[in-house]
């Protein structure tokens, strides 16, 4: 806590002018001291923020995790000097930290906001994400928490070109999120020049209204107009989200740069900073607190502490409900097991929620939707918003599971990557993976998803081969921190495991093993069944193959892989229903090569040509990932010199 | 060519009813014969297509590559039965092929359209992509070809929830693409139930108008209304794109399923199909041709044959212009070399075009924009549309280079994946990669891009370490088929190569080498410089390290890697400014493990913790990818038992 004067509660409108000047001065000072940052993008929004935090944002700065607090999200994350200057004004960041910590190594005042700061809900900086994330928080507030907090999102005008902004407004109006307020800082200038619409506020208004928002158009430097608009916006009794369109001037307050192109993302040199500060009336060190929230009208559903990345223990027994059980040998699709397990989880844990992208009858999320309609959110065909809503729900400590076809999570990769930076705990389930889907063709075949998901920081990547393991892994995901991903298969395949079996994340199953093993066959998902069939064929010739079900692709069970390689003289056959780069095979080769000096030779069967339509069997054979190809690859390794 | 009656030229409106019935019947027949597909989604749009192809689409079916042809894109790719029925009606696909080839293995009538068919411009099936692709084709028509073809895009109503549709309309109106017509088949029902807006055509109209389109609202089953609207839409003399909002009925024409939920993506069983065909008046086998295009008013800029994936030879000398040269040791950023090379290419080849996502002053695409403003398209902050426009330009045989920060290509991953299925030749340049960027923090750091791009089918992934190689690789990309990706670095690093050096795709450079090498250091981009510094430090202790510049990550120079591993007893240190999964290290381990039996031990230095802000040096040291960590890793490998 800064050693500043005792904060007051709320300020009158006249005082917001002083506060705005301080926010501008501090934006200039912090960015100049750091030698980088975006002062002009901060100055345009300083009046908006002064009025917002001084008179409207209901926030207990001493209890940033308080359930009743309003939320403040900087979708224009590059205006971090302004946000951190707000924190100084609130008395939670010292002037010293602002001047020596901004953008410095090891410090928490990063170039773009992240939840390294307790007042930040989500990381921003990839534009067009803060508002979609805010939709998720607002969904929680209106439908789950049922607490009258508001979600205030500051957007830049450049990011209005991102389709994700319109996905967000579409969903905000569909779900009547009157607790969501987007404030658009329309300063006319982007990074390299004017924005598309510049100061055509009418065009913005028509778009936002057409997407179902209540629109308030103001001069973003007129404090009274701002105050009036935020008063209106903060009244959540209606049924629409609010968009405040604020006409502003980039660099406002420093005449040398006001409304000038060429000053995006550039701190002022020392001499210019001095002139700016002088023109703004000099340094100030006000501490200002706005209204505090009323206590939540009823206690929110109790929630456990949000698990921290790295800290979550595998297991998740605390949230596991009664699991469905499957009979050995029955053909059950892993996507069906996903739906079953989700329903069981929902029974056991009221904080489990589900979302889907208009394919819930394929992913089997519809089973959860029928069982717990109040905890299911249909996101229609808007995968970016699907993931962003999950991130927003995780801000409010819910346990979101979002599903769509595995291929279509590629649409949301930027959001998934940012979810990791946001330290969000989100669970993604992608169905219909690989050529196994058959006739629909390559547009519907996820063949890049494992690579994409593995590369996300701190992610968990799971690919079960049967219903028992799929259901167990869904339960594991519920208590897993960070971004976790489950890949499920379209078709039904035999149940391999009995109900008592456990599937810890980071583990694997050795399904065939003997001291006479001469080759190791490794599969996951659909190819595990092909590995088993290949092993049976080899066994007919008295060739013993070890078979590993590598259901946990990240983290990976290096120990079992190394042991298998040692026993089988380094001979490995890996088969995966994925392009050859970055998936199961890469996970194995990465793990083995780092494990120490070994002699290794791996035949890697993967989808190397562009597939077309066909049956599952035809396409797996054509890709060379079926039992026959695995068997041949094993024989070739054994016959090689 | 089908053995059908001689095609006529155009049909009168009364005849379109017969044609529409045939399209419906054939959609039913083909999907029932295949046992999968989307008949009801085809039947809703059959009247629209009958009028379009019979009376408006100017297309020479005998010359699908003709420059003057209109373009027809099925953004709702799942309506492939309708599209293929259109091809039968045009006489270019036989009834036999339609009945025995649809969705079958090895056949070209895939579940969703791909350019395996000569009349298909782009693959669709991931919703919300056909219209953005169409924007690219229309940009080519209006600004480059200057040929009055029209781009007709059939969209579904469900896909209007995708933000990319609004990115497309936004850019279409910004660029005044009066040659672009989106026809929205508003049949009210999605896969799992009603769409968000159902039949609220007013809401769609307000949105499309607010985004700058001319909107025509019609009954999509009234042939005269359709004809009137398409006549209006086809007049391109205005300055707006046109959106035709057609109220339709899913399953139209078969009373058992009309407007019924539960029939999405389901072929009719045989008996239902018989009743449907009977209700529709039975089979027909009309061959119908609409208007042909006038010859192009002037010859389009001559274009070479589009390179085919797999077929392009490395080299690209044919399009290489005068290259910028750099002095050894000068510090030059590879992103600057990108800009230089792009300008040189632009001088040499008039079909080279550039696009950027509002960061051209950072990526250095602005140099091309200044040199060739007529061949530069600003896409603002809309990365999905950025990539889609490049795909559309490649349809018209241009040589597009699209650039933004490497991190933000994650926003467009679904589009990049689909570009590969579309057989598009697009070149992507991502700048500001990795922790090297410094103070801006993780939201701006591409740490997943190499994994993402490697996993794309047929992709080329390049990561040069100096300006000379960067410029040379940009020239190589110009003649490269498929999706190629160049990763560039923010900071300036010493020029390593002289102007005479060549950098074939798939090659590498061995920068330090002797018979006494005991360890191999491998880097690319910024880490190559760290590898060189580490080698110098090791050399001071008489430890000889081989150093490899692996500028071509895909395809990869396996031969050089295997040789280095053999000489250095399998000891490898790999350093990359990327998360550990799927990037440089995985590319190397994948290649080595498949190369044959070898003893290997690799220390893989990569960005394993979430970075924050700081200087490049601080962040590279913290990630353990700087010279000191590489040196230590090499010593540890040598000291290990």
Residue B487 pairs in a beta bridge with B430
Q: B460-462 and B552-554: which strand pairing?
A: antiparallel
Confirm or reject contact between A418 and chain B (CB < 8 A): yes
Q: Which helix (H) or strand (E) holds B39?
A: helix B39-43
What DSSP assignment string belongs to B85-131? Answer: HHHHHTTSS-HHHHHHHTT-TT-SS-SS--TTSTT-SS---STT-HH
- Average pLDDT rounded to a whole number, residues B533-546: 98
Least confident of A378-392, A597-611, B536-550: A597-611
Interface contact A111-B441, CB threshold 8 A? yes
Q: What are phi and psi of B369, to 5 degrees?
A: -60, -40
Instruction: Give the SS3 label for residue B186.
Output: strand
Q: Can you tell me which residue has the tokens 């497309």?
A: B168
- Average pLDDT rounded to a whole number, residues B392-417: 98
**Minimal C-alpha gap between B265 and chain A (Å):** 10
Residue A323's pLDDT is: 64
Confirm or reject contact between A460 and chain B (CB < 8 A): no
Rounded to 5°, the CA angle B443-B447-B448 comes to 110
Nearest to B427 by CA among B338, B536, B318, B542: B338
The answer, yes or no, to whether the previous bond of A437 is cis (omega within 30 of 0) is: no
Which 366-395 residues of chain B touch chain A by CB within 8 A? Answer: 366, 380-385
Q: A545-549 and A509-512: which strand pairing?
A: antiparallel
Residues of A in contact with B108 (CB under 8 A): 612
pLDDT, tens digit (0-9, with 9 covering 90-100), for A130-155: 999 999 999 999 999 999 999 999 99
Q: Could you tell me which chain A residue has the CA closest to the CA of B34?
A: A439
Is a pLDDT exceeding 60 seen at residue B524? yes
Interface contact B381-A190, CB threshold 8 A? yes
Residue B598's pLDDT is: 82
Rounded CA-CA distance A417/A400 in Å is 17
Rounded CA-CA distance A375/B192 in Å is 18
Interface contact B110-A612, CB threshold 8 A? yes
pLDDT, tens digit (0-9, with 9 covering 90-100), for A382-412: 999 999 999 999 999 999 999 999 999 999 9
Residues of A in contact with B587 (CB under 8 A): 581
Q: Could you tell me which chain A residue has the CA closest to the CA of B618?
A: A105
Q: Which of B164, B583, B613 sits opposite A105 (nearest CB)?
A: B613
Is a pLDDT exceeding 60 seen at residue A5? no
State pTM to two decimals.
0.96
Q: Report the share of chain A in percent with pLDDT over 90.
A: 92
Interface contact A443-B420, CB threshold 8 A? no
Residue A312's pLDDT is: 35
Confirm or reject contact between A562 and chain B (CB < 8 A): no
Local confidence band at B297 (pLDDT 50, 70, 90 cut-offs): low
Is a pLDDT exceeding 60 seen at residue B322? no
Residue A297's pLDDT is: 62
Rounded CA-CA distance B352/B355 in Å is 10
Residues of A in contact with B112 (CB under 8 A): 440-441, 443-444
Compute the mean pLDDT over every residue in chain B, rounded to the nearest whole number. 94
- Average pLDDT rounded to a whole number, residues B26-41: 98
Residue B324's pLDDT is: 80
Torsion of CA A264, A269, A270, A271, to 10 degrees: -100
Q: B492-494 and A571-575: which strand pairing?
A: unpaired
Residue B4's pLDDT is: 42
Helical H segments across B486-581, by residue range:
526-540, 558-567
End-to-end CA distance of chain A: 70
Residues of A in contact with B170 (CB under 8 A): 161, 196
Q: Which of A594, A599, A613 sits opposite B602 (nearest CB)?
A: A594
Q: How many CB atoms lie within 10 A of CB B237?
A: 6
- Average pLDDT rounded to a whole number, residues B199-228: 98
Residue A307's pLDDT is: 40
Least confident of A263-272, A298-307, A486-495, B356-365: A298-307
Residues of A in contact with B380 (CB under 8 A): 158, 161, 190, 195-196
Best residue of A443, A562, A626 to probe chain B, by most B CBs closer than 10 Å: A443
- Average pLDDT rounded to a whole number, residues B145-149: 97
ipTM confidence score: 0.95
Residues of B in contact with A103 (CB under 8 A): 439-441, 613-614
Is a pLDDT exceeding 50 seen at residue A309? no
Is a pLDDT exceeding 70 seen at residue B314? no
Residue A9's pLDDT is: 54
Confirm or reject contact between A474 and chain B (CB < 8 A): no
Question: Choosing from B110, B225, B367, B383, which is the catalytic residue?
Answer: B383
- Average pLDDT rounded to a whole number, residues A354-368: 98
DSSP-derived letter for residue B215 is E
Confirm or reject contact between A408 and chain B (CB < 8 A): yes
Local confidence band at A294 (pLDDT 50, 70, 90 cut-offs): confident
Is a pLDDT exceeding 50 seen at residue A578? yes
Local confidence band at A640 (pLDDT 50, 70, 90 cut-offs): confident
Confirm or reject contact between A106 and chain B (CB < 8 A): yes
Residue A298's pLDDT is: 57
**Beta strands of B220-324 (E only): which ranges?**
242-247
- Average pLDDT rounded to a whole number, residues B81-100: 98
Q: Can you tell me which residue has the tokens 């897993």?
A: A480
Confirm or reject contact between B97 and chain A (CB < 8 A): no
Which 585-604 residues of chain A touch chain B by CB within 8 A? Answer: 585-587, 589-590, 592-594, 596-604
Residue B10's pLDDT is: 77
Local confidence band at A302 (pLDDT 50, 70, 90 cut-offs): very low
Q: Which of A112, A597, A613 sits opposite B599 (nearest CB)?
A: A597
Compute the mean pLDDT over every residue in chain A, rounded to the nearest whole number. 94
Residues of B in contact with A599 (CB under 8 A): 597-599
- Average pLDDT rounded to a whole number, residues B231-243: 97
Is a pLDDT exceeding 70 seen at residue A280? yes
Confirm or reject contact between A206 and chain B (CB < 8 A): yes
Q: Which of B438, B443, B572 sits opposite A77 (nearest CB)?
A: B443
pLDDT, tens digit (0-9, with 9 covering 90-100), for B468-478: 999 999 999 99
- Average pLDDT rounded to a whole number, residues B442-460: 98
Interface contact A614-B104, CB threshold 8 A? yes
Is a pLDDT exceeding 60 seen at residue A348? yes
Q: A205 near B206, Cβ under 8 Å?
A: no
Is a pLDDT exceeding 60 seen at residue B313? no
pLDDT, tens digit (0-9, with 9 covering 90-100), for A607-637: 999 999 999 999 999 999 999 999 999 999 9
Q: Could you tell me which chain A residue has the CA closest to the CA of B450?
A: A455
Residues of B in contact with A211 (CB under 8 A): 207
**Sequence-ordered list of residues with C-beta below 8 angstroms from that of A81, at least 6 positions apart, any chain:** A26, A27, A28, A30, A31, A37, A38, A39, A42, A102
Interface contact B106-A612, CB threshold 8 A? yes
Size of interface A-B (CB pairs under 8 A): 370
Interface contact B451-A454, CB threshold 8 A? yes
Is a pLDDT exceeding 50 seen at residue A317? no
Residues of B in contact with A263 (CB under 8 A): none
Structure tokens at B234: 């086809």
pLDDT, tens digit (0-9, with 9 covering 90-100), for A197-226: 999 999 999 999 999 999 999 999 999 999
Residue B9's pLDDT is: 55
Residues of A in contact with B189 (CB under 8 A): none
Residues of A in contact with B175 (CB under 8 A): none
Interface contact A366-B441, CB threshold 8 A? no
Local confidence band at A2 (pLDDT 50, 70, 90 cut-offs): very low
Q: A558 near A588, Cβ under 8 Å?
A: no
**Minimal C-alpha gap between A608 and chain B (Å):** 8
- Average pLDDT rounded to a whole number, residues B96-105: 97
Local confidence band at B309 (pLDDT 50, 70, 90 cut-offs): very low
Is a pLDDT exceeding 60 seen at residue B298? no
Residue A599's pLDDT is: 85
Least confident of A186-195, A434-443, A521-530, B1-10: B1-10
pLDDT, tens digit (0-9, with 9 covering 90-100), for A494-530: 999 999 999 999 999 999 999 999 999 999 999 999 9
The catalytic site residues of A sit at 383
Best residue of B33, B424, B432, B440 to probe chain A, by most A CBs closer than 10 Å: B440
Q: How many CB atoms lie within 10 A of CB A202?
A: 12
Instruction: Give the SS3 label for residue B528.
Output: helix
Q: Which of A361, A554, A589 sits opposite B191 (nearest CB)?
A: A361
A55-87 CB burial, b ≥16 within 10 A, e <16: bbbbbebeeeebbbbbbbbbbbbbbbbbbbbbb
Which 305-364 residues of chain A touch chain B by CB within 8 A? Answer: 358-362
């Amino acid at each position: 806590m800064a050693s500043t004067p005792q904060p007051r509660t709320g300020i009158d409108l006249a005082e917001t002018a002083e506060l705005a000047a301080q926010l501008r001065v501090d934006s200039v000072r912090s960015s100049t001291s750091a030698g980088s940052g975006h002062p002009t993008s901060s100055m345009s929004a300083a009046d908006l923020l002064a009025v917002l935090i001084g008179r409207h944002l209901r926030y207990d700065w001493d209890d940033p995790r308080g359930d009743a607090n309003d939320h403040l999200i900087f979708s224009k994350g590059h205006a971090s000097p302004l946000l951190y200057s707000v924190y100084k004004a609130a008395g939670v960041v010292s002037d010293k930290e602002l001047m020596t910590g901004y953008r410095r190594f090891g410090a928490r005042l990063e170039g773009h906001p992240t939840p390294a700061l307790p007042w930040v809900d989500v990381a921003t900086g990839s534009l067009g994400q803060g508002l979609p994330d805010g939709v998720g928080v607002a969904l929680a507030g209106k439908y789950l928490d049922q607490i009258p907090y508001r979600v205030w999102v500051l957007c830049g005008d450049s990011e209005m070109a991102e389709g994700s902004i319109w996905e967000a407004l579409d969903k905000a109006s569909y779900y009547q999120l009157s607790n969501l307020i987007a404030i658009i800082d329309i300063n006319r200038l982007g990074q390299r020049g004017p924005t598309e619409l510049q100061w055509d506020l009418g065009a913005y208004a028509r778009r936002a209204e057409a997407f179902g928002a209540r629109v308030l158009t103001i001069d973003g430097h007129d404090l009274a107009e701002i105050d009036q608009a935020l008063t209106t916006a903060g009244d959540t009794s209606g049924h629409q989200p609010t968009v405040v369109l604020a006409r502003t001037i980039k660099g406002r307050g420093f005449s040398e740069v006001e409304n000038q192109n060429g000053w995006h993302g550039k701190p002022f040199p020392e001499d210019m900073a001095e002139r700016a500060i002088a023109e703004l009336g000099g340094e100030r060190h006000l501490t200002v607190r706005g209204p505090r929230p009323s206590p939540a009208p009823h206690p929110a559903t109790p929630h456990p502490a949000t698990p921290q990345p790295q800290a979550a223990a595998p297991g998740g027994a605390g949230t596991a409900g009664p699991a469905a059980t499957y009979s050995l040998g029955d053909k059950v699709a892993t996507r069906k097991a996903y739906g079953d397990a989700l329903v069981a989880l929902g029974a056991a844990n009221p904080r489990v929620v589900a979302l889907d992208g208009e394919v819930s009858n394929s992913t089997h999320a519809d089973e959860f939707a029928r069982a717990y309609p109040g905890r299911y959110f249909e996101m229609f065909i808007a995968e970016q918003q699907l993931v962003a809503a999950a991130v927003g729900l995780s801000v409010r400590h819910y346990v979101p599971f979002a599903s769509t076809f595995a291929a279509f999570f590629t649409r949301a990769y930027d959001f998934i990557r940012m979810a990791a930076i946001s330290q969000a705990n989100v669970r993604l389930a992608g169905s219909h993976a690989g050529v196994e889907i058959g006739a629909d063709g390559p547009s519907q075949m996820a063949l890049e998803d494992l690579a994409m998901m593995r590369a996300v920081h701190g992610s968990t990547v799971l690919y079960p081969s049967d219903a028992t393991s799929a259901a167990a892994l869904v339960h594991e995901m519920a208590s897993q921190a960070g971004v976790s991903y489950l890949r499920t298969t379209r078709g039904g395949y035999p149940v391999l495991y009995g109900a008592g079996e456990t599937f810890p994340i980071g583990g694997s199953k050795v399904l065939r093993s003997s001291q006479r093993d001469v080759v190791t066959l490794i599969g996951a998902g659909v190819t595990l069944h092909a590995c088993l069939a290949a092993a049976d064929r080899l066994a007919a010739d008295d060739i013993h193959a070890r078979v590993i079900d590598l259901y946990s692709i990240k983290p990976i069970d290096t120990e079992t892989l190394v042991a298998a390689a040692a026993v089988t003289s380094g001979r490995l056959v890996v088969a995966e229903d994925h392009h050859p780069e970055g998936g199961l095979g890469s996970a194995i080769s990465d793990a083995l090569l780092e494990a120490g000096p070994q002699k290794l030779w791996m035949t890697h069967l993967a989808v190397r040509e562009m597939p077309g339509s066909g049956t599952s069997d035809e396409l797996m054979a054509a890709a060379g990932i079926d039992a026959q190809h695995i068997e041949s690859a094993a024989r070739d390794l054994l016959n090689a010199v």
